[in-house]
Amino acid sequence: MCRNIRTLFNFDPPATDAEIRDASLQFVRKISGFSQPSKANERSFLAAVDEIAQVSGSLLHSLESNARPRNREQEIAKAKARSAERFRTSVSA
């Protein structure tokens, strides 16, 4: 579940509010153990997601870096290459 949370800092273009909220949702799912909360817990669950998204957005906007911003497409291509290498199957003859 939590491995879906990706680094959001130092990208060009910067992370969107939707990306920050998605990462916050994954975090709350992980720590609560709920992928979908019950009706009784839904309000608390969604409030936690909103608060974490707000704090995460503030953090990302306040961070500074001397490194060049990373390109999303290049990072996705690198991740796919790593995945293909990791999960490639060898064919025995």
Domain positions in the chain are 7-87
| pLDDT per position as a tens digit, 15-36 | 999 999 999 999 999 999 999 9
Q: What is d(CA 25, CA 85) in angstroms, rounded to the nearest whole number?
A: 30
Q: Omega before 37 cis (within 30°)?
A: no
What rounded mean pLDDT belongs to the chain? Answer: 88
Opening angle at CA 22, ends 64 and 73, nearest 5:
65
pLDDT at 9 over 80: yes
Q: For residue 3, what pLDDT is reported?
A: 63
Q: For residue 73, what pLDDT is reported?
A: 85
